[in-house]
Structure 1
């Protein structure tokens, strides 16, 4: 009963409108803004400069039908060759930092340390040096889904040896880039990445049975993250004085008339809590362990499909985050699966999720604009995890290919207002906000059909020209004034886009 009471209280929703005494338009002093990309999604140059084959290089070739437009990232946004141009755009728009990821296959072509690619290391050092010369802080994600294919052929993240292989790679990243980089994230969105061991919606696209591969992957990823964190502590923190965490994807929850806080919390724990709970509280969430054991028995397994952490591992993983790296896009309404009343278990969580028809759509079916849910999520993280320092490391909205992306501006404005209220009224410790994405890029099984960039990329052109969208100018004004702006007049937008382009090409 005590456990249930805590769950109920943690999803108390505070009204978020008309906050007397709160300026919901200005950002706190010292608040920083950044943009993000990832290696496979933007770099291209997939077989240049001695880079090895990654799991995405392999997946797009073996399963072109898995991608909506049968595309690939062989060239992508061509950021491998155009990183200096991208840095100039970031500078022109005024962003404080740039979050990008390192390609494991570009550093260690065969995944292991017997073949270190000096050209790959030089490439990322060149990027970091360009950023620093332009007063843009580099924020590095060590691993964003794309490990070498040869390691996948040895089991990938379902093989516990992957923990040591990752640690060897991370050590090179810390050693080579740490003197210039002060913020690292170890692994991007373990829950999403590990889905590649449950379906063919992302690499490696292995349809392993009944979430067994997913849970093995997640278990090993948490171990790898913790080992990298402790290695940084032991070998690099004293000299580099940086911060390190992991990127945790979390959806917001919105309650309907049923006020079902229990289902909302269960949904949260089965997604965000799979990483948040082990790091901030210790071990997997109790409801996850209980439910996976129950459904495993229903499916005929003699023990739970969720691996068990020893007390030593629970202690070792707990506390391995200097900040909460939050990736968040949308929200949901959670309800119990009615089939369970008839003894039918369709999922480990026992939850079905719905959306309100009034929520604004994007070009991705699951991504709705729900600012209320984002505010609820920020308060949930504060309550459940003892108010950690939060960096929003991804937040964004995909368009349909238009330059005048007013829907994206409305999305950003409404989400940022919720963030400001969460900080100023509710005391949430949020100090950074990162846009996904700087550029239109290759979006996994959606290919190029769901552009996320505030900069449009012409994927039909060999030169991959960049054109700022309306949201790019809006962001320029937000950062310049440190204040939320109204949705601007289109003539003002176009005039300033032209100004940005002229400055960029000067």
Structure 2
């Protein structure tokens, strides 16, 4: 009886008191943006043209509202306003990206823009004056068009060009920036872009380009990491990693667990195993499946290009932490006749004989591509911990998009709350070394194919106003409160809010109940 009581009390304690569990000392909160999505000033000064500039200008018919990012949030001019927004939230850090073409107008390091350098110096110094840590992403999809004309991420020389670009940025800003992301979301850069051909550079080539891109991204990242390690770390003591877009895969039924694991290796392991595993190289099961499928399709060699022993050594261990961009999950089953043509994680992986499915019970908020499944965040952290050890895990993006531009975004509040709940479970129950959480995004911005119709911002941006006025949403107030208290409390919708006195009394009662349960558990543990 005592054992049953102890277990029941422990479970009750975990459930009732989770909202009082604090984020550990040193845990940091921040928000993220990317250069192309917020800066505007696309042709100001000597800035060069990026693939995103070219794409949105040449193909407005592919954008929901036929817009472009030539002004966007006008952050190039309104960087002081952005810093104030970050400060008002009480955030520890601000993650933003440098635009390759703003710093190197031709894409090559022989020409450096003084105005571009001045802009990022102002932003970095302004953040530091407010005691906000700048985190720089070197590449967030805005490749110089000149380099794309030379083959872009399918040209192996891109790794050297990226290394040279990284060298410039490290040299210019490394004395003040202590945390870096090399490349953002290669899964989307390579798999989505080349499998669908719907984003810049608008090339559809799933047979070859996807996997050339995968390999070259990993080598480019590794070269930048090795460069920093060799040339700058002893002076600046910073940390670097690549930011992987991770999708958690649950089996459709228990008998599909093998298929789910294969999907994890394909989408997550393909970009993580070469860097974080002890042996390096591609996941063996993916190498095998790709070889078999390539042969079946008549290719003389695998479409997944092999690493040389030197390349395996170069890429393996090129990390200081694991950056996780998590938004959504999928269910997995074996592919059925008719599924063969499907590509990318939204529908399936023909190479593996798998089909991916969105669970209709997961809320989507208006964007069906990214339904919410908070438990997937804890699951992927646990999987990564099991595969690669208890690394320094850092959640570099998590966010909720909808098509409602209002300020009372309680669906977004609930999304953040539920995912932060899973972060606490990962830390306290799974003992994972999770050190930070980044909300995507600080403010509404140019959301690629959705233009300005899809909103992710903690701050609403009025894109009809020349001043691009930013206004905090309910989610901004929720994040600010969480950051200030360093604990998670259940959000309350406006229409259900009680009086201040009732809230105070309820909170006191809950806290007393939690204390009573805690004491009961301790007593039972000691004496029974």
Structure 2-normalised TM-score?
0.87
CA RMSD of aligned residues (A): 2.1
Q: In structure 2, what is the equivalent of residue 484 of structure 1? A: 488
Report the CA distance between 1:355 and its aligned residue: 2.2
Consecutive unaligned residues in structure 1, runs of 5 or more: 1-16, 494-506
1:474–1:485 CA contact under 8 A, matched in 2: no
Q: Relative to 1, partners in 2 of residues 1:19 and 1:285: Cα closer, same or farther, differing over 3 Å? A: farther
1:41–1:73 CA contact under 8 A, matched in 2: yes
Deviations 1:37-59 (A, max 9, x none): 00001110000021100010011
Report the CA distance between 1:86 and its aligned residue: 0.9
Q: In structure 2, what is the equivalent of residue 91 of structure 1? A: 87
For residue 366 of structure 2, the aligned residue among 359, 363, 366 is 363
For residue 396 of structure 1, the aligned residue among 391, 396, 399 is 399
> How far apart, CA to CA, are the structure 1 residues paired with 2:48 and 2:159?
20
2:401–2:456 CA contact under 8 A, matched in 1: yes
For residue 437 of structure 1, the aligned residue among 438, 441, 445 is 441
1:116-131 equivalences under 5 Å are 116-131=112-127
1:353 paired with 2:350, answer no
Consecutive unaligned residues in structure 2, runs of 5 or more: 1-9, 343-347, 498-528
Report the CA distance between 1:19 and its aligned residue: 7.0
> How far apart, CA to CA, are the structure 1 residues paired with 2:341 and 2:246?
29
Q: In structure 1, what is the equivalent of residue 195 of structure 2? A: 198
For residue 283 of structure 2, the aligned residue among 257, 269, 285 is 285
2:222–2:318 CA contact under 8 A, matched in 1: yes
1:24 paired with 2:24, answer no
Report the CA distance between 1:236 and its aligned residue: 0.1
> How far apart, CA to CA, are the structure 1 residues paired with 2:468 and 2:213?
35
> How far apart, CA to CA, are the structure 1 residues paired with 2:238 and 2:26?
18
Q: In structure 1, what is the equivalent of residue 228 of structure 2? A: 232
1:444-455 equivalences under 5 Å are 444-455=448-459
Q: In structure 2, what is the equivalent of residue 462 of structure 1? A: 466
Report the CA distance between 1:462 and its aligned residue: 1.4
Deviations 1:190-218 (A, max 9, x none): 1111232333221111112x331011111
1:74 paired with 2:77, answer no
> How far apart, CA to CA, are the structure 1 residues paired with 2:195 and 2:41?
29
Deviations 1:302-343 (A, max 9, x none): 111110001121121111110001001011111111239999
1:254–1:372 CA contact under 8 A, matched in 2: no
> How far apart, CA to CA, are the structure 2 residues paired with 1:140 and 1:342?
40
> How far apart, CA to CA, are the structure 2 residues paired with 1:66 and 1:381?
36
> How far apart, CA to CA, are the structure 2 residues paired with 1:123 and 1:135?
19
> How far apart, CA to CA, are the structure 1 residues paired with 2:189 and 2:207?
13
Q: Relative to 1, partners in 2 of residues 1:404 and 1:294: Cα closer, same or farther, differing over 3 Å? A: same
Report the CA distance between 1:272 and its aligned residue: 1.3
Q: In structure 2, what is the equivalent of residue 266 of structure 1? A: 262
1:332 paired with 2:335, answer no
Moved more, 318-327 or 339-348: 339-348
> How far apart, CA to CA, are the structure 2 residues paired with 1:314 and 1:131?
38
Structure 1-normalised TM-score?
0.90
> How far apart, CA to CA, are the structure 2 residues paired with 1:343 and 1:326?
29
Deviations 1:131-156 (A, max 9, x none): 00001100000111111101100111
Q: Relative to 1, partners in 2 of residues 1:343 and 1:463: Cα closer, same or farther, differing over 3 Å? A: closer
Moved more, 479-488 or 223-232: 479-488
Q: In structure 2, what is the equivalent of residue 9 of structure 1? A: none
1:253–1:332 CA contact under 8 A, matched in 2: yes
Q: In structure 2, what is the equivalent of residue 10 of structure 1? A: none
> How far apart, CA to CA, are the structure 2 residues paired with 1:359 and 1:331?
9
Total equivalences in the alignment: 476
> How far apart, CA to CA, are the structure 2 residues paired with 1:83 and 1:491?
35
> How far apart, CA to CA, are the structure 1 residues paired with 2:184 and 2:56?
20
Q: In structure 2, what is the equivalent of residue 475 of structure 1? A: 479
1:331–1:368 CA contact under 8 A, matched in 2: yes
1:441–1:451 CA contact under 8 A, matched in 2: yes
